[in-house]
């Protein structure tokens, strides 16, 4: 009887370890869509920065993005993906969440505010296998306390509604 129990325990252990060693789960479609959009945004920011010092000396202050509710994208999730994309850069900047309290303090000249606005940019496009929602993402870099951006770029695209 103890041999059967030992055999059963060994089999269960092998199954458990085999399950852990399997391929990782693929990210959800929503996560893939937001990660792709965040990566595109960060590539633009890194390619044409407004700062004049090495990127590793820069601190990017990241306020919550302004997102058109008709897109069905959670602001917190997009903010998280954008933060991860910035932090994943090899020679990237430091990243801090921006809060209104930071506007009341003196900021060093290495800090930049990266503002993002994601809006619907047209009617839903119906294809044979999916629906696409056009969007426009506007990225603006400015120094805290300044009104006008020193750098601005727009990304136009479409989000697959099935990913939302």
Q: Residue 164's pLDDT band (boundaries 50, 70, 90)?
A: low
What local confidence, expressed as pLDDT, does residue 144 receive?
87
Listing DSSP states for 64-75 in one string gives: PPEE-GGG---H
Q: Give the mean pLDDT of the chain.
A: 82
CA pair distance 35, 88, nearest whole angstrom? 12
Question: In this prediction, what percent of the chain has a pLDDT beyond 70?
Answer: 76
* pTM of the predicted model as reported, rounded to 2 decimal places: 0.76
Do residues 139 and 153 lie in contact, with contact meaning Cβ atoms separated by under 8 Å? yes
For the stretch 97-100, contacts whose Cβ atoms lie closer than 8 Å and that sit 24 or more positions apart, written own/partner, are 97/61, 97/62, 97/63, 98/61, 98/62, 98/63, 98/144, 99/63
Confidence of residue 9 (pLDDT cuts 50, 70, 90): low
Kindly report, residue by residue over 91-134, the tens digit of the pLDDT.
899 999 887 666 566 778 889 999 999 999 988 888 888 888 89
- Considering only residues 5 and 157, tell me which one the structure prediction assigns the higher pLDDT: 157
Give all strands (DSSP E) within 88-160, no chain letters: 94-97, 111-120, 125-126, 131-142, 151-160
Instruction: Give the residue from 161, 102, 162 showing the smallest Cα distance to 133.
Output: 161
């Amino acid at each position: 009887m103890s041999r059967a129990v030992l055999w059963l325990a060994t089999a269960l252990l092998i199954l458990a370890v085999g399950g852990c060693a399997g391929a990782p789960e693929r990210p959800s479609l929503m996560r893939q869509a937001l990660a792709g959009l965040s990566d595109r945004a960060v590539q633009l920011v890194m390619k044409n920065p407004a700062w004049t010092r090495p990127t590793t000396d820069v601190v990017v202050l990241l306020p919550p993005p302004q997102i058109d509710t008709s897109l069905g994208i959670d602001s917190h999730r997009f903010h998280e993906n954008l933060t991860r994309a910035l932090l994943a850069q090899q020679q990237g900047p430091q990243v801090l969440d921006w809060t209104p309290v930071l506007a009341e303090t003196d900021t060093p000249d290495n800090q930049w505010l990266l503002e993002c606005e994601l809006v619907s940019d047209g009617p839903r496009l119906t294809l044979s296998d999916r629906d696409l929602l056009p969007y426009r993402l506007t990225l603006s870099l400015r120094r805290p306390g300044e009104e006008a951006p020193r750098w601005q770029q727009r990304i136009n695209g479409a989000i697959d509604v099935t990913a939302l």
